[in-house]
Amino acid sequence: MSYLEYAVKTTPSGLRKVLYLNWPLVLLLTAVASVGFLMLYSVSGGSLSPWAEPQMKRFGVGLIGMFVIAMVPVWFWRNVSGVAYGLSLLLLLYVEFFGHVGMGAQRWINLGFIRLQPSELMKIALVMFLAAYYDWLPVKKVSHPLWVLIPVLIIVLPTFLVVKQPDLGTAILLLTGGGAVMFLAGVHWAYFATVISAAVGLVWAVFQSRGTDWQLIKDYQFRRIDTFLDPSQDQLGAGYHITQSKIALGSGGWTGRGYMQGTQSRLNFLPEKHTDFIFTTLAEEFGFVGSVSLLALYALIMVFCVGSAMNNQNRYASLLTLGIATTFFLFFAVNMSMVMGLAPVVGVPLPLVSYGGSAMLVLMLAFGLVQSAHIHKPR
């Protein structure tokens, strides 16, 4: 009987918790983030500035944040879920009303060291709050219409605010992420069938609204959909992003053009090459092998999260873990679909790889919650 085996039987406390962290997940996250550093170093033409170095620092901060959150028992996080949601909602309202007064359609609050996007925060807070809700709600009542309406409102409220910003990408993430938690909690199939048919109807309505005075989405969003459906119609204008990113991806071939040899990104043909379109640079320089490897890293992260959730007897903990995993999945699935021309360009970053403080930090904190759930699972 070793000491370790004994320890597994009890809920760890104090610094010993570090031993119970989901270490493979930490390694995977670091690996994905390192891919990001590598690519940011490449797109800036072989230089740590202006992107790679700040990104490394943020990852460091994020890692520390993750550890700190992991140390706190998961039931504490359950108890503050409502507060987190309420606070995020207030911040969303704040940028909704004051952001416009300030500078254009400003979506962030400047905290000095970081520009915080409340919508990023909301992605996690929503999952937390819904997990807490279903943890609280007796399982029998889950599919009762009234108890279904409440989480729907919880999801729709921030989604509405985000759409107004307008940030279509985040709205899709919130809606799908929230829906996934509801699905996991066991809400009846019929609700989802209804919502999906309603969504199809809504899409139809959106297209019908075009050009009328009750137009539901912005013109530029319509144009993005147009160019998604047929990028060739405007090569130098709206279709440029998709066309250039597909050229970059495709020209990578099996093994790519070699690190820092990608002509598309090096010669600035790629738009947003350090943020939303960073995957194209990876695909161009490392080819099919490189892109599939990153996909595999993401898949492994998912596997570890789902595995951790399934082994967790605590309903809140597993719902939270699966919700966060789904949100994470939505991040890279939407981003990759977007750059590969499978989805419209909606502005979703590649998680942990794209340059950007808010998304990186929030994702690391979210994985802190996953770790907390992992450490404090009932044994």
Partner 1 sequence: MRSHRNARDQQASGRRLTRRAALLGGAQLSFMGLLGWRMRHLQVDQADEFRMLAEENRINIRLIPPSRGEIFDRNGAAIASNEPAYRITIVREDAGDVDAVLTRLSQLIDLDPADIERAKAEMDRSAPFLPITLAERVSWEDVSKIAVNTPALPGITPDVGLSRFYPLAKDFAHVVGYVGPVSDYDLSKIEDPDQLLRIPRFQIGKVGLEARMEDELRGSAGTRRVEVNAVGRVMRELDRQEGQPGANLQLTTDVMLQNYVQARLGDESAAAVVIDTTNGDLLAVGSAPSFDPNLFVRGISVSDYRALTQNNHRPLAAKSVQGIYPPGSTFKMVVALAGLDEGLITPEETFWCGGYLEVANRRFHCWKRGGHGHVNMAQSLRESCDVYYYELASRVGIEKVSAMANRLGLGIRHDLPLSAVAAGLAPTKAWKKEVRGEDWLIGDTVNASIGQGFVLASPLQLAVMTARVATGRSVTPRLIKSIDGVEQPSGSGESLGLNPTHLNYVRDGMYEVSNSRKGTGYSSRIIAETMRMAGKSGTSQVRNITAAERAAGVTSNDDLPWERRDHALWVDFAPFDDPKIAVAVVVEHGGGGSSVAAPIARDITLQALYNGDPPLDAYPAKDRDRIAEQQDRLRALRPDLGQDSKSRA
Tell whether the torsion through CA atoms of 239, 96, 349 and 171 is positive or negative. negative
Per CB under 8 A, contacts with partner 1 among 127-146 are 138-140
Is there a cis peptide before residue 50, judged by omega within 30 degrees of 0?
Answer: yes
* The one segment of 55-63, 163-171, 325-333, 355-363 that binds partner 1 by CB under 8 A: 325-333
What are the phi and psi torsion angles at 13 (to 5°)? Answer: -140, 165
Determine which residue in the list 61, 156, 157, 302 makes contact with partner 1, applying CB under 8 A. 302
Return the structure tokens found at 168.
């279509």
Q: CA 122, CA 106: separation in Å to the nearest integer?
A: 16
Q: If we measure between CA atoms, which residue out of 368, 188, 359 comes closest to residue 275?
A: 359
What are the phi and psi torsion angles at 109 (to 5°)? Answer: -115, 130
Q: Does 350 sit near partner 1 (CB under 8 A)?
A: no
Least Å distance between CB 60 and partner 1?
29
Q: Does 252 sit near partner 1 (CB under 8 A)?
A: yes
Q: Does 251 sit near partner 1 (CB under 8 A)?
A: yes
Determine which residue in the list 55, 117, 281, 291 makes contact with partner 1, applying CB under 8 A. 291
- Pattern 16-45, binding to partner 1, x per CB under 8 A? ------------------------------
Distance spanning both ends of the chain, measured CA to CA: 18
Q: Does 215 sit near partner 1 (CB under 8 A)?
A: no
Determine which residue in the list 46, 186, 201, 258 makes contact with partner 1, applying CB under 8 A. 186
Return the structure tokens found at 292.
């599939």
Q: If we measure between CA atoms, which residue out of 116, 61, 112 comes closest to residue 88?
A: 116
Least Å distance between CB 187 and partner 1?
10
Per CB under 8 A, contacts with partner 1 among 69-88 are 75
Q: CA 21, CA 8: separation in Å to the nearest integer?
A: 12
Q: Does 258 sit near partner 1 (CB under 8 A)?
A: no
Q: Give how far Cα 5 sits from Cα of 8, 19, 39, 313, 327, Å.
A: 5, 12, 41, 20, 34
Residues within the interface to partner 1 (CB under 8 A): 75, 138-140, 180, 183-186, 244, 246-254, 263-264, 266-269, 283, 287-288, 291-292, 295, 298-299, 302, 306, 309-310, 313-315, 318-319, 322, 326, 329, 333, 336-337, 340, 342, 378
